[in-house]
């Protein structure tokens, strides 16, 4: 289905006239924000959705009103690999296949800390938790299915550091760590696509856009407003209108688009935003308001190296058997 959308298209606009009856989706992080909206719109169009959350009671409250016949929950703490493995084991035991995974859950700009397994918080949660989950349930993915990693334009803050992923030798800054984790999300998607496209499983990464959700809870008071003012200043210097945040339905639209109606051959191994595939934009000044993905984030050689490092860190090897 080929339709045009804008940066401010909503999930309902993306799925207008689309039936997802008979489809099944896994969405991580359904206790707030984009995850809740993603689950809502998928169920509204007839899909079955398995949502994951660290806090199931919070998720149940957030999902109140969504048809319980089509919406089920699984406990998952991405910052605890024991929890990730237990969730994957439960899903494998049920043996029901998926049409797409939308890896939406994550944290942003946290103070320096570690996951339960000793990994830097953002890299461990945003990347390694999803890395283990997806690889452990990959056999549940149908031919023609998709894995959509929710990344961010924040990948522009930093490339992954394959020598020091836990900031053991590098000075920690919250947004550098966030940038590393979001670059890792993109690299994981293109590595997945490279490994599994021959089996009919495509993977892509997406940027939802700037949205005020719980993700900003670790920012100091006033920091978000200052960031938006700076971006708008950059936009004005380039002759563009002021930057404005998306609503949650607008922010969730690109992941929903990529997981449902986008051409898999076009999005596979790519990065998208504003319901479209993004250009690769070389290093140098680049406003976060402008579309584009950094070359290092779509470098297949670096993706393979990150895969090998991630396997070493989590103590598991993932093959094609």
Which residues are known catalytic residues? 151, 178, 182
Is residue 270 within 8 Å of 204, Cβ to Cβ?
A: yes
Number of CB atoms found within 10 A of residue 168's CB: 9
- List CB contacts of 1: < 8 A, sequence separation 6 or more: 18, 261
Which of left, alpha, beta for 242 (phi over 0: left; psi -120 to 50: alpha)?
beta
Is residue 138 within 8 Å of 196, Cβ to Cβ?
A: yes
Query: Rounded distance, CA 32 to CA 104, Å?
Result: 11
In the chain, the largest separation of any two C-alpha atoms, in whole Å, equals 56
Q: What does DSSP assign to residue 243?
A: P
Would you list the DSSP string of 197-238? GGGT-EEEEEE---B-SGGGGGSPTTHHHHHHHHHHHHHHHT
N residues, the chain: 321
E-only strand ranges, the chain: 24-28, 48-53, 71-75, 98-103, 141-150, 202-207, 271-273, 276-277
- List CB contacts of 4: < 8 A, sequence separation 6 or more: none
Enter the tokens of residue 57: 């009671």
């Amino acid at each position: 289905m080929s339709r045009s959308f804008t940066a401010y298209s909503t999930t309902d606009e993306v799925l207008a006239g689309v039936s997802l009856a008979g489809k099944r989706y896994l969405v991580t992080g359904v206790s707030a924000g984009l995850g809740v909206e993603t689950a809502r719109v998928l169920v509204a169009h007839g899909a079955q959705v398995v949502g994951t959350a660290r806090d199931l009671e919070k998720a149940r409250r957030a999902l109140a009103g969504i048809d319980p016949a089509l919406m089920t929950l699984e406990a998952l703490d991405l910052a605890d690999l024991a929890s990730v493995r237990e969730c994957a084991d439960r899903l494998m035991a049920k043996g029901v296949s998926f049409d797409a995974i939308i890896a939406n859950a994550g944290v942003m700009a946290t103070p320096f800390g570690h996951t339960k397994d000793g990994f830097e918080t953002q890299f461990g949660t945003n990347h390694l938790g999803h890395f283990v989950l997806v690889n452990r349930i990959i056999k549940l993915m149908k031919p023609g299915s998709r894995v959509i990693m929710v990344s961010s334009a924040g990948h522009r803050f930093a490339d992954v550091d394959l020598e020091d992923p836990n900031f053991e030798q590098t000075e920690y800054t919250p947004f550098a760590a966030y940038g590393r984790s979001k670059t890792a999300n993109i690299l994981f998607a293109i590595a997945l696509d490279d490994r599994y496209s021959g089996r009919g499983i495509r993977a892509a990464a997406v940027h939802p856009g700037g949205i005020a959700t719980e993700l900003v809870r670790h920012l100091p008071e006033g920091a978000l407003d200052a960031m938006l003012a700076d971006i708008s200043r950059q936009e004005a210097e380039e002759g563009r209108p002021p930057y404005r945040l998306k609503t949650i339905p607008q922010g969730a639209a690109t992941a929903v688009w990529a997981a449902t109606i986008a051409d898999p051959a076009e999005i596979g191994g790519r990065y998208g935003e504003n319901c479209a595939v993004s250009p690769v934009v070389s290093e140098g000044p680049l406003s976060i308001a402008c579309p584009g993905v950094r070359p290092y984030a779509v470098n297949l050689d670096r993706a393979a190296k990150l895969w090998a490092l991630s396997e070493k860190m989590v103590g598991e090897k993932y093959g094609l058997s």
